[in-house]
Structures are given as C-alpha cells and as structure tokens.
Chain A
C-alpha cells in the first residue's frame, strides 16, 4: 500500500471514519495491523480512529449522548490484544457513495489505462466505469479521456518487466544515434501520450529511460535480469547530470508549464512581458526540438551556440519549403491519384 506523504485534512479524515466503520462491521473481528495495512494508515492512526468512533454516536432525544446512542467496542480485546470488534453501532453500516468528482476521476483514469496492457480489454473497463457511475451520489462530472491504441511493443515490454527477463532492441537516441541495446527492464512509466521503459542498460552500465516509440526489433531473451535493488530508479523522466547544458530562454508566461520538466531552478525574471528562465537539458539536440515545437513561445537567449543550433535546425526545416512554387516533383503521395496531394 502506498504510504501517504502528507497528513490528512479533516474532510479526508471524515471519509476515512465513514469508511472504516462499515469495514469493521463487515470484518467483525480485525487486527489493528491488518486494518492499517488495508487502509494504508499507521497503526496509531487506526487506534486513534477506533477511540474516536467508540465515543461517537447520536445526541439522542435528550441531546446528551446517552450510552445506548453511542458506538461501543470490545475494550478488552482492543486494549489487551490490539483487536477491534464493534459491539454496538448506530446510524451507519454501509459504505458511502462516491462523489461525482471522485467517480469521474477514477473513470477518466480507467479510460487512460485502456491504452495499457494491464487493462483486461475495453469491455470490462466499460462495465467497471458503469459500476462507478452507479456508485456516485450524483451524475459523475463530464470528464473524458480518449482511448488510444496501445503501442504494440508495450505488451512485450510489460511481459519482460513482469517476468524479470532481459530485453534486446534497436534504439535510436535523441542524438540520432542508432544501436542495438541489451537491458534489464525495471519499470514502465508513461507521461501523457508517451511511454518509457526505465531499464539498466548493459551498454551504458547505468539506469536509462528509453522511449518506447524509439525502440524497435524487440527480442525477449531467456536471460534473467540482474539484482538492481541498490539502484535508484528515478521517479521523474528528466534527470540532471554533470554533462548537462544550461540554456537561458525567454518564454511567454502561458507556456511556462510546458517547460516545467527542464527548469534548472525556480528563478525567473520578467523581460519585455516574457519570463527569462534557465533550462537544463542533456544536450542541444533535445533543445532544438523542444524550442522548434513551441514556435513563437520560447526564444533561446544564451549561450550563442545553443541559439545557433536552434536557428540551424529550423532553417534546415524551412529549406524544405521554397518560397515559390508548391508543385511536388520529388515526392509522391502514398496513393497517387486519390486527390489529396
């Protein structure tokens, strides 16, 4: 169970209390440790909640919280054996419904998973989504995520990760170099539409992120992967290193979130209505693609060689479009004559 990093806020604590009671009733007799595991809480948080529930109840007709209007637990089991047993309950016995927003968040998350080999087909996803909608107290928020086709390689990579077997593949890196790689797959990670394999690369002798769409000719070998428990698999896709390139750019404020992965630090200053920030990238090849893909939104200020690299990249692209004459003499449409070219 994933451990929380931040303390819960009061509404989250309320949701927990309202969920914990029906869990205890359903299970009848449960260890503190087991409950803590099930809800991803600490044992002390569970004990605090039990004490709170055991003294909670209804104001009753007199408005004074008489014993019969309160929850009660088997105090001996709780204090001597760390075991929770509710012996009297009031008002609630069932799981609470989901809110419209909660249901929508899970439903849209499921739609995104449709692209992954983990989902057992879109039919079961559809029925799961319908169940979530039925479990919401009002119509789920209208939030949708387009179902995308899974990359064919993904299923094989997933198998390699699950079975702990080495992979061999051709890889084209961002510098444009192609080569055969052998790697110990560790984790598949996606960011929006892009899928990556985090793996220990035998060639580079280090953990690397591989873009799945740059991998080809994959072979799942019978070789087991090595022990990488001592290695840190980065939780983000963009890792700084000593060979990195720091580049000063001006960016229009609205486009700043698009550069968040590359910001070297959090400092920025305003220059003519734009923000001047420093980006950190592995090399100039990544930079030229990034800047050319945000035309008019990002301008490289320094160093000069980075400016030149971007200018050269874009003007080489521009050279493909002569000013005059759009006639196509050197390339054909895939199906000549179908009227689109």
Chain B
C-alpha cells in the first residue's frame, strides 16, 4: 500500500490502489445529496481522475466504474442511481449517490460482548469459501462498533460443510432473483429431467441441502435435494421473479419437519451394534425386548442410503417402501462387488 505521509492531494500520481479508489468513491457518493454525474465522478474522484481524459476518450474508465459499482453493491452498500427529471432515459444525465440513512447501521442494531462472541462462533461454522468470506466481512463491519467480544470460545469448533456443487450458483440466483435451469434426477424416474425454476429458499434439513423453488414447468412450488442436481445450474437470461416472503426458509423447514413427523419407520437393530447405539439416539419409541426402535425420516431414498450403510446391523420392518428401498440398495452393492472385479 503506497501512501504519502503528508496530507497533500495525490492528484497526478500514476498508480492508486484499488481499495483507495473504491474508498474515495464511497466517500464522494455518501457526501452528495443530489448525486454525482458519471462525468463528475470520473474527472474528480481519486483513482479515476488521474486517468481521466478531458477530450472524452474514457471508455476504459467507464467500464472500470461499472465494475466498481457492482463490487460496492455486492458489499451491501446501497449505491443508488437517480434519473434526471428533465432527461429521463438519458444515461449521461444519471446521478449516483449513497443515501446516508440507508448506509448507516441503524442505532438499535448494537451487540453485547456475549452476542459478539456467539456471532464469532457462527462465522467460524462455515467451511465453504464464499459463506466464510461473507461471515468474516460481516464481523469486520460489526467490529466498527468498538465492542470487544467476550473471550473467544476455546476447545469448541462446530463446522458445517457444503459439498453440493449446486449450492453456490443457487445462492447467487436466490440473491439476484434469477431463474435457473438444471437437470434433476428424481428417484423412480429413469433419467435426469431438465427443470426451470425460480429459486426461493435454500435450507439444510437432516444433513441435506434442499432447494425450495417455483417449478415453471409444473406451475407449482417444489422442493429439490441439491445432491440430486446433475451437472451445472445455469441462469436463464432475462428471467427473474418477485422476492418471496422474508420467512419462507422457516416455512420450508417447518414443512420438512411435518413431512418427517408423518414418516415413521420400525427398525430391528442388533444389540450392541453401531446401529443400535447411533440410530437408538434418534428413536422416538423403543421395544427393548424385541430390539425394535421407531424413527422418523423425511425422505425414503435418503434414509434408505443411511440404513444400507449399517448392513446386517439393521433390518427394516416397516414401512414396505423403505424396506424395499433398503433391500434394493443392498442388492445393488452385492451385485457390484461379487466376482473378481474389473481391475
């Protein structure tokens, strides 16, 4: 970072660091009430002004400004565009500003040292790069309040991973309210089928990430498992949608919970086995003598995968759909592993 120690203007110096230009731009746009014209910004704000050409050849600089605007908005800074009342639709007459009232953290949003310690822990939860970066930026912003968090929690590292490739493109589509297309493999269907959907919420339930979306072909909302999305999630150009209700993710979670409470499985587990110990933790009913436990589950296929891993330690008694699903999975594994192998 190059910086002179005097308070003098740096106009004329060749290389201004990116953060210096962005900082100067934010300051300039916060200080203006009426907004600044693009030509005013490019000719006077540090980082642009040094490269501004009075004769009007500023295409590179204009592209730079467009990218900077996007970067600033990505950080949650409310950069507004105001049309000229006299010249609507004229891009050269557009004014840019950041309204201070929308920029400043509201006064009621203040945190105690305990709360900040908890938020620090919440930020550490994410192993996935973009969520982790977002969390860390949020913490930096909250540090501006000057409150020291309670001593960080040691000996404690809760972590959440996101291993579905579809997650990040879906999260972006969610924020941009951008319709997307992907291929979805539904159990029971022979092949993946293309879906065009408006993504409304992404939720983690029972260890699986789900997308709740409006399916444009079906004309109704649907919930998809991210792990069954095959290949890329592609934005559909020009297709957007209205913001869903603010608490839609809570409603989706409640629906999944209800679905879960409606599905019950009776399982015979071998005494002393891993299945007895681990599945037993989740049992809602148990018959110790018969070695039978009852568990709730959300999705037959997901639960059948889990049960198949226990091999002979667990046997599904009911329902038949789950029983058949587990049997089929075990048969698949046997068939793939009998014989010499293809090495």
| B-contact bits for A79-112, CB 8 A (1 contact / 0 none) | 1000000000011101111111111111011101
Asked if B334 and A314 sit within 8 Å, CB to CB, the answer is yes
Residues of A within 8 A of B105 (CB): 94-98, 135
Contact B207 A96 (CB under 8 A): no
Tell me the chain B residues, 25-60 only, with Cβ under 8 Å from chain A. Answer: 26-28, 30-31, 40, 43-46, 49
**Assembly CA distance A294 to B308 (angstroms):** 8
Give the CA-CA distance A187 to B174 in the complex, in Å.
36
Name the CB-closest residue of B to A339.
B318
Write the nearest CB–CB distance from A8 to chain B, whole angstroms.
9
With an 8 A cutoff between CB atoms, is A262 at the interface?
no
Across the interface, which residues of B come within 8 angstroms of A167, CB to CB? none
Which residues of chain A come closer than 8 Å to B8, judged between CB atoms? 55
Docked complex Cα distance between A14 and B79 (Å)? 15
Assess A116 versus B4: contact at CB under 8 Å? Given A95-B142, A172-B277: no
Q: Does A230 contact B (CB under 8 A)?
A: no
Smallest Cβ-Cβ distance to A258: which chain B residue: B163
Distance from B125 Cβ to chain A, minimum over Cβ atoms (Å): 4
Query: A340 contacts B319, CB within 8 Å?
Result: yes
B4 / chain A contacts, CB cutoff of 8 Å: 51, 55
A331 CB contact (under 8 Å) in B3, B102, B122, B290: B290
Interface centre among B3, B174, B200 (most CB of A within 10 A): B3
Residues in B with CB closer than 8 Å to A296 are 329, 332-333, 336
Residue of chain B at shortest CB distance from A185 = B155
Kindly identify which residue among B122, B201, B268 contacts A142, using a CB–CB cutoff of 8 Å. B201
Tell me, yes or no, whether A189 is within 8 Å of chain B by CB.
Answer: yes
Given contacts A48-B1, A95-B104, A158-B156, contact A295 B11 (CB under 8 A): no
Q: Nearest Cβ distance between residue B248 and chain A, in whole angstroms?
A: 5
A96 to B119, CA, bound (A): 17
Q: Decide yes or no: A105 and B285 within 8 Å by CB, A90-B31, A340-B264 being known contacts.
A: no
Q: A182 in the interface, Cβ–Cβ < 8 Å?
A: no
B281 on the A face (CB < 8 A): yes
List of B residues within 8 angstroms of A75 by Cβ? 5
- Those 6 A-B pairs whose CB atoms lie nearest each other, nearest first: A99-B76, A293-B309, A144-B249, A109-B122, A63-B44, A13-B19
Q: Other CB < 8 Å A-B pairs besides A14-B75, A99-B137, A118-B156, 4 of them?
A: A12-B136, A57-B27, A144-B253, A296-B329
Show the binding face of A for B, using Cβ within 8 Å.
Answer: 1-2, 10-23, 26-27, 38-39, 48-49, 51-59, 63-67, 70, 72, 75, 79, 90-92, 94-106, 108-110, 112-113, 115-116, 118-120, 124-125, 128, 131-146, 151, 158, 161-162, 172, 174, 176, 178, 185-193, 211, 213-214, 216, 248, 250, 254, 257-258, 260, 288-296, 299-302, 304, 307-308, 310-311, 313-321, 326, 328, 331-335, 340-341
